[in-house]
A and B are shown apart, each in its own frame.
Chain A
Amino acid sequence: MSERITKSMARNIYFGGSLFFFLFLIGLTFDTMGELPKRDNRENITASVALGKKVWEENDCIGCHTLMGEGAYYAPELANVFNRRGKGDEKTFKQFMKVWMSIQPMDKPGRRKMPQFNLSDEEVNGLADFLIWTSRINDNDWPPNIEG
């Protein structure tokens, strides 16, 4: 096949093809930006959710956990931890989070260890709010089951 394609044809396919599909990507991006507000429940982003995201980032939680399937694969998925550990109830989940964060690292030999991050009550509460908010993003029903 390659004998029939000349170098200038190949160059045109490169320039034309990549330009076309880059513009296509830009168009899709604009469309997605229009659709996202209907799916990401951004109206529920509170100051506490924002604080939670900051806590999430500044302790590099993504270095062990996944969040919506992205991150490291060393520790459980957390986009649905609100449903898994809090049974979908905010009060239950926040109580769980408070206890859970305070008992790390757990004294179980050989078990994967989560460090003690010494977070304040407000920070733990924010982290919980961030995870609750995240669990309500419409993510096409991922993950397949509660175990994440």
Chain B
Amino acid sequence: MSDDIGLWGVPLAILGGAIRVSTPFIFVSIGECLTERSGRINLGLEGTLVFGAMSGYAVAYHTGSPWLGTLAAAFAGLLFGLLHGWICRLPRVNDIAIGIALMIFGTGLAFFFGKPYVQPVAPDLPAIPLGFWSSLPQVQAALNVNVLFLAGIVLAFATAWMLKNTRVGLTIRVAGDSADAARALGIDVNRVRLWSTAAGGALAGVGGAYLSLYYPGSWNEGISSGQGLMAVALVIFARWNPVNCLYASLLFGGAGALGPALQSVGVTSGYYLFYAAPYVLTLGLLVATSSRSRAMPSAPGELSIVK
């Protein structure tokens, strides 16, 4: 059988790319979704993602276990989330501005401590060869699925179920929709938001660990290309629904894979414009789904960006 599958390589590469590229989006967007459902926005997840990538890589390198690295990244993300949540509970502090500061701070700390880890090679997270049935190497490559991708799918449905059906989920939603109602129910709004932000940070850390430990699979200062920030926009597009976050992440992953996929079949002109595709897509979706006159449907009522 010929290995040359011609232009079929493009959709296949996009599918494979969507699976590979979308995983960090899935984790960050579900984390941000959780935070925003509690009524706060954390723009600092970009910094958390980069710091997660660095700390995950460093711990995996020292311990030899990529899973310990992922755990460390989640813990680091948790700390960043706690910092954001703790600062935001003070009066007159703007959660968006704090997010920007934490973006700079997290990125700076990651570059600061990450310098010695640019050269060494850490073990990768394992992948499951779901393309074993095909003899085509392109199909096998596209369906070589990382464990974290599958975990992300489970996480999306579990988070949606948790928000809808459990006491914790109801508490988060009440805190996000009306702080007054939450207080009337005896809920400590700040505490709910603190832990929702912390959980969101932990998930963003895992997303970062995926970047450095699987795809692209190394640590360097250009590891993130704004995934943490795009995920925030993606949550708006996904209408604060974790399952929609999953679908939106796949769409973004596919857009991100467009450039490399076309390059692989020899289309090189306008390469840099294809590189901009995910950002253009994000912006286009934001424009299409925002509205000037009415509050966005299903947006948490306490969210500063939709008020």
Instruction: Specify whether A and B are partners.
Output: no
